């Protein structure tokens, strides 16, 4: 088997090709703006999944299949719930109480996730989504900054970030509390 993994930075580069900052390459179509926004969201989603599954089952090459399987346990809406707690948008939730104090950089990643999730919903399903090139560029830049920040927090083993990615598989349980 030689299947290629999903790489968050490849997704970001694809989004940037779909919505070029340089207009010299021609104006994009609206469908490209939609796909660019959606792809940028998926870059951040997959980055967080990668970090969560490496915490769960390890990042050794031999644990690859276990990581892939565990990655399917993580649902978009549940990560959004957790991100809302981390961003301060739902400070009284059960998730927020377990998460505890959050590093400001993580709060910013969380806000980016909530924003990109909402915009991706509109980009994928809302026929009335009136998106412009500069709007899409902002969202793609937001995703790139968030992915870079995730890598930095991971490198530092920042405590609230580690707790956040571990909690990504526990959202369903927390919502019942």
Partner 1 sequence: MATFTDGHLDDLRRRLRSEHIGSIEVRDVFVERRFDAEGVEYVQVTLVVSEPRAGQQTWPVNDAFELRQRVRWTAAEVGIPVDVSITITSAGEADTQDDEEDDDAGGQDPGTGVHW
Q: Which residues bind partner 1 (CB under 8 A)?
A: 21, 23, 26-31, 33, 84, 87-89, 108, 111-112, 115, 118-119, 121-122, 125, 127, 130-135, 137-138, 141-142, 145
**CB 89, min distance to partner 1, A:** 6
CB closer to partner 1, 64 vs 105: 105
Question: What would the two tokens of residue 43 be?
Answer: 């870059």
Question: What share of residues in the chain are helix, strand, coil (percent, to 5)?
Answer: 75, 0, 25
Nearer to partner 1, 26 or 61 (CB): 26
C-alpha to C-alpha distance for 88 and 162, rounded to whole angstroms: 17
- C-beta of 56 vs 109, nearer to partner 1: 109
Paired tokens of 79:
């990560």
Q: How far is the CB of 62 from partner 1 (least distance, A)?
A: 38
Work out how close the CB of 165 gets to partner 1 at its nearest, in angstroms, rounded to a whole number: 21
Kindly tell me which of 60 and 97 has the beta carbon lying closer to partner 1.
97
CB of 125 to partner 1, least distance (A): 8
Alpha helices in the chain (DSSP H): 8-18, 30-57, 64-71, 76-87, 94-99, 104-125, 133-156, 159-167, 171-175
**142-164 burial, b if ≥16 CB within 10 A, otherwise e?**
bbbebbebbeebbeeebebbbbb
Instruction: Choose between 6 and 141: whose C-beta lies nearer to partner 1.
Output: 141
Write down how long the chain is. Answer: 177
User: Minimum Å distance from CB 132 to partner 1?
Assistant: 4
């Amino acid at each position: 088997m030689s299947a290629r993994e999903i790489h968050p930075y490849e997704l970001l580069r694809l989004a940037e090709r779909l919505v070029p900052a340089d207009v010299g390459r021609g104006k994009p179509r609206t469908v490209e703006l939609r796909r660019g926004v959606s792809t940028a969201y998926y870059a951040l989603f997959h980055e967080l999944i990668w970090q969560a599954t490496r915490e769960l089952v390890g990042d050794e090459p031999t644990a690859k299949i276990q990581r892939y399987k565990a990655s399917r346990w993580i649902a978009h809406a549940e990560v959004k719930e957790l991100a809302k707690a981390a961003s301060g948008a739902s400070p009284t939730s059960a998730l927020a109480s377990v998460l505890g104090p959050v590093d400001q950089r993580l709060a910013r990643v969380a806000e980016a996730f909530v924003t990109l999730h909402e915009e991706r919903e509109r980009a994928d399903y809302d026929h009335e989504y009136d998106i412009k090139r500069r709007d899409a560029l902002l969202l793609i830049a937001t995703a790139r900054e968030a992915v870079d920040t995730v890598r930095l927090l991971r490198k530092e083993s920042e405590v609230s970030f580690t707790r956040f990615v571990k909690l990504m598989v526990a959202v369903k349980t927390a919502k019942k509390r």
